[in-house]
């Protein structure tokens, strides 16, 4: 099933939106790497849902307005987008930077959301446990450190990106720095408001995550009012890539549990 | 020509073999490799060398700011400048420069430089820089906002020096209810501002603007690149409707003089190679954090780098490209005069100690430069 890609304009900011499938709405918020590929995980989600995967302002081929300067700005932008598109009863999913963004959205206004899945979310940090530094890692190291199973990294490293893909890669990296450089991958004010996310939450983490240590999962579990934690063995920072089927099964079970 | 004797104050006792086992001589080089007893001696010898430069007749002596590195031991160059003020009497002291975006409140830079200007009775030259890429790793400051912070800090500092205080400052990064610089600078309206840079068209356009006309110092570049940046500054000034003065164009260059070309090369080769290959060694990710340059500059840099194939510079290649002037007085003078013919530049920032170059060779280099080269550069 191919995803449709179209421009969506909110506040004179045009973003690119991938859309696939029919059914209840699932909004997937991507991480710092953007959406370089339509993932098998997306295919699975789109079987029974309408899946929306926007490219955040500053990422991919979306606009990069100067006034969006922080993840809280990005969260407010998405609240506007959701209101204008009149999305309701949304299943929200966010990975890494997108997980952070999901939490920033939900502490502000959770009224249009049904539940949330956080896949190795950034945004808070257990004191004394620093994240890995993907800004200082070399290009190969940065890819290898995302995965536990190195065959995923091997495939990416074997690909020869064309000039447009390189441009998007650089753009994503610039925006990742804008949002995540300092403080590194967190908003110090986020943690104290997580109790406002009064929604069922599923937090999924790879035990071997080299970017955001799996120790952070427990802190999310403590701060979110209704969270269950799934820890995946032999898994790095991108559980939905490395263990796509298992993650899709966990999510599906979580959604069914929420409904019943 | 205005002559500046400039120093980086490298930590020469560095175990180069051990350092090479680490990712870089910056940010991640473990500080256990710094021995305070040896380091204290380094400070003393390096300061002696700068003080000696006044005796030799240099117009200015220069220091600069770098953090978390063996490349330079001056995270706080104003402290060194303060020491130099007490040991010199007439020479200008150029701080080349302070890294404006790295501080949380630039008013402290305005205050400290104003203090130094008073302490020295008007001998301070204020260099303003953004700090190099690695310093965005070591300070944590977001490189994405580096240019914004630089321009805003610059505006705040120059206004603090020139406008009657107290006044309020409303920036995007810095917000102050009271800007009221005590003491005011000794020089009026303020100490000369110089802009050391590795050259970007944005910086050239900004520095040469008629409201600023800041001297632009090109650092550590091949002779062709230096000439290109000087020329683009001149062209930009013409577009603004004026002719750039010689004193607006500077060149910062490692220089080593000995009796003959071959002797100079023999004595300086290892040291100049340690400067570029050991002390300056940084990864691309350190040098070019995202947002530190524009996207286009970054792409150009990537292209240039891949065409160079990442070859380590050698003494020969550095001499060949004119990145370093190493040779007999005639050779060194020839290199300087050739650049003067090409660009009409008027500030030479001479790095007369570099890498592991010893105190004895540094002293001889300085003596010979002063005796054989300097007189011929006096207009």
Comparing CA positions, the residue from A249, A217, A179 lying closest to residue A31 is A179
**What is the phi/psi pair of residue A231, to 5°?**
-105, 120
Which residues of chain A carry a pLDDT beneath 70?
A: 1, 259-260
Q: pLDDT value at position B309? A: 58
Express the helix, strand and coil content of chain A in percent, nearest 5 each.
Answer: 40, 20, 40
Q: Is B48 helix (H, G, I), strand (E, B) or coil?
A: helix
B-chain residues near A174 (CB < 8 A): 144, 290-291, 295
A-chain residues near B299 (CB < 8 A): 170
pLDDT of B204 above 90: yes
pLDDT in tens, A142-195: 999 999 999 999 999 999 999 999 999 999 999 999 999 999 999 999 999 999
Contact present, B249 and B341 (Cβ < 8 Å): no
A176 touching B (Cβ < 8 Å):
yes
pLDDT in tens, B16-71: 999 999 999 999 999 999 999 999 999 999 999 999 999 999 999 999 999 999 99
B-chain residues near A167 (CB < 8 A): 295
Nearest chain B CA: its distance from A132 CA (Å): 13
CB neighbour class for B364 (10 Å; exposed up to 12, middle 13-18, buried from 19) = middle
Q: Do B290 and A174 touch (CB under 8 A)?
A: yes
Q: pLDDT value at position B248? A: 98
pLDDT in tens, B85-105: 999 999 999 999 999 999 999
Nearest chain B CA: its distance from A89 CA (Å): 36
Kindly state the DSSP code that residue B370 receives in the 8-state scheme.
I
Return the axis-axis angle of helices B261-274 and B359-368, rounded to nearest 10°: 130
In chain B, the percentage of residues whose pLDDT exceeds 70 is 98
Contact present, B65 and B99 (Cβ < 8 Å): yes
Dihedral angle sign, alpha carbons of residues A158, A162, A165, A170: positive
B-chain residues near A177 (CB < 8 A): 142-144, 289-291
**pLDDT range class, residue B200, cuts 50, 70, 90:** confident
Q: Do A174 and B142 touch (CB under 8 A)?
A: no
B171 touching A (Cβ < 8 Å):
no
pLDDT of B310 above 70: no
Q: pLDDT value at position A100? A: 98
B-chain residues near A136 (CB < 8 A): 23, 27-28, 137, 283, 285-286
pTM over 0.80: yes
Average pLDDT over residues B254-262: 98
pLDDT in tens, B129-153: 999 999 999 999 999 999 999 999 9
Burial pattern B110-130, b for ≥16 Cβ within 10 A else e, equals bbbbbbbbbbbeebbbbbbbb
ipTM: 0.95
Q: pLDDT value at position B320? A: 97
Round the average pLDDT of chain B to a whole number and report it.
Answer: 96
Q: pLDDT value at position B304? A: 76
What is the C-alpha to C-alpha distance for residues B259 and B243, in angstroms, rounded to an integer? Answer: 39
pLDDT of B308 above 70: no
Q: pLDDT value at position B281? A: 94
In chain A, the percentage of residues whose pLDDT exceeds 90 is 96
Average pLDDT over residues B349-362: 98
Which tokens hold the place of B9?
A: 């104050």
Average pLDDT over residues B170-175: 97
Q: pLDDT value at position B302? A: 81
Nearest chain B CA: its distance from A139 CA (Å): 9
């Amino acid at each position: 099933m191919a995803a449709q890609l179209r421009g969506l304009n909110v506040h004179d900011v045009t973003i690119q939106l991938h859309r696939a499938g029919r059914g209840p709405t699932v909004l997937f918020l991507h991480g710092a790497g953007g959406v370089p590929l339509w993932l098998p995980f997306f295919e699975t989600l789109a079987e029974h849902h309408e899946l929306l995967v926007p490219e955040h302002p500053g990422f991919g081929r979306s606009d990069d307005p100067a006034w969006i300067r922080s993840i809280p700005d990005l969260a407010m932008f998405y609240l506007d987008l959701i209101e204008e598109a009149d999305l309701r009863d949304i299943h929200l999913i966010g990975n890494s930077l997108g997980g952070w963004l999901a939490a920033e959205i939900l502490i502000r206004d959770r009224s249009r959301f049904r539940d949330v899945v956080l896949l190795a979310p950034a945004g808070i940090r257990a004191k004394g446990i620093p994240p890995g530094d993907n800004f200082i890692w070399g290009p190969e190291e940065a890819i290898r450190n995302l995965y536990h199973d190195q065959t995923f990294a091997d495939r990416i490293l074997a690909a020869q990106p064309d000039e447009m893909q390189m441009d998007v890669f650089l753009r994503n990296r610039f925006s990742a720095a804008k949002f995540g450089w300092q403080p590194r991958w967190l908003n110090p004010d986020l943690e104290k408001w997580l109790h406002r996310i009064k929604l069922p939450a599923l937090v999924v983490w790879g035990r071997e995550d080299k970017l955001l240590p799996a120790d952070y999962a427990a802190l999310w579990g403590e701060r979110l009012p209704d969270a269950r934690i799934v820890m995946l063995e032999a898994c790095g920072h991108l559980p939905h890539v490395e263990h796509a089927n298992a993650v899709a099964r966990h999510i599906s079970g979580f959604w069914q549990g929420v409904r019943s | 020509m205005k002559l500046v004797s400039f120093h980086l104050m490298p930590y020469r006792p560095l175990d180069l073999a051990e350092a090479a086992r680490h990712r870089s001589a910056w940010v991640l080089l473990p500080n256990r490799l710094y021995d305070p007893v040896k380091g204290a001696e380094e400070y003393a010898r390096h300061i002696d060398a700068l003080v000696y430069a006044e005796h030799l007749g240099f117009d200015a002596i220069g220091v600069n700011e770098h953090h978390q590195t063996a490349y330079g031991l001056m995270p706080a160059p104003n402290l060194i400048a303060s020491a130099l003020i007490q040991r010199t009497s007439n020479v200008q002291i150029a701080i080349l420069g302070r890294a404006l975006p790295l501080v949380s409140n630039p008013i402290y830079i305005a205050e400290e430089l104003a203090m130094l200007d008073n302490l020295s009775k008007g001998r301070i030259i204020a260099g303003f820089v953004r700090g190099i890429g690695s310093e965005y790793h070591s300070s944590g400051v977001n490189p994405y906002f580096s240019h914004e912070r630089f321009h805003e800090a610059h505006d705040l500092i120059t206004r603090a020096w020139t406008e009657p205080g107290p006044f309020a400052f409303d920036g995007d990064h810095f917000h102050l209810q009271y800007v009221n610089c005590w003491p005011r600078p000794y020089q009026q309206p303020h100490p000369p501002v110089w802009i050391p840079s590795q050259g970007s068209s944005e910086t050239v356009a900004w520095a040469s603007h008629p409201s600023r006309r800041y001297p632009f110092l090109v650092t550590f570049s091949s002779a062709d690149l230096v000439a290109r940046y000087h020329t683009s500054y001149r062209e930009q000034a013409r577009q603004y409707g004026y002719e750039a003065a010689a004193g607006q164009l500077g060149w910062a260059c490692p220089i080593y003089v000995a009796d003959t070309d071959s002797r100079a090369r023999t004595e300086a080769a290892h040291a100049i190679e340690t400067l570029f290959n050991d002390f300056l060694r940084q990864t691309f990710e350190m040098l070019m954090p995202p947002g530190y340059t524009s996207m286009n500059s970054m792409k150009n840099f990537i292209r240039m780098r891949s065409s160079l194939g990442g070859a380590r510079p050698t003494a020969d290649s550095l001499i060949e490209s004119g990145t370093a002037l190493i040779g007999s007085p005639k050779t060194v003078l020839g290199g300087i005069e050739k650049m003067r013919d090409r660009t009409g530049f008027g500030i030479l920032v001479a790095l007369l100690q570099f890498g592991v170059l010893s105190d004895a060779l540094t002293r001889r280099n300085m003596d010979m430069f002063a005796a054989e080269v300097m007189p011929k550069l006096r207009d």
